[in-house]
Structure 1
């Protein structure tokens, strides 16, 4: 769980920025967005397969550019 400890000399804005960075790095918000609505297992598989295909095509384009 992300957390930021403040010292007396720390600025609130700096602490907030550090906290946001920790939350983003831990993936809490993306997990929350995924779980906001129920998604059927078949839809999850389709999305996963589409993402894999997209990554593969991107890799192929990168190789062809060289």
Structure 2
């Protein structure tokens, strides 16, 4: 759990800003959104497989683009 120690003579706005930043860095809001509703194991597995396919497709398309750039012939 993120926490912030307020220093002497520090404006409360700065302390709140530091707290918000530490909460965001810890990933707490993302985790809360993910756990808001129950997700059955089959849905979790399906989501992981689809994200894996998406990453693979993205990587392959980047590699194809690089090959096209390398094989390009310069014509003047």
How high is the TM-score relative to the length of structure 2?
Answer: 0.71
Partner of 2:64: 64
The alignment's C-alpha RMSD in Å is 1.6
Residues in 2 aligned to 1:55 and 1:35: alpha-carbon distance in whole angstroms: 23
In 2 relative to 1, CA 16–49 (structure 1 residues): closer, same or farther, beyond 3 Å?
same
**Unaligned stretches of 5+ residues in structure 1:** none
Q: Is 1:22–2:3 an aligned residue pair?
A: no
User: Which structure would you say has the larger Rg?
Assistant: 2
**RCO greater where, 1 or 2, for CA within 8 Å and sep 6 or more?**
1
CA distance in 1: counterparts of 2:13 and 2:63, whole angstroms = 43
Q: Distance in 1 between matches of 2:59 and 2:14?
A: 37
Deviations 1:12-52 (A, max 9, x none): 33222222221122111111111111111000100111111
Q: Which runs of 5+ in 2 are unaligned?
A: 67-76
Q: TM-score, normalised by structure 1?
A: 0.79
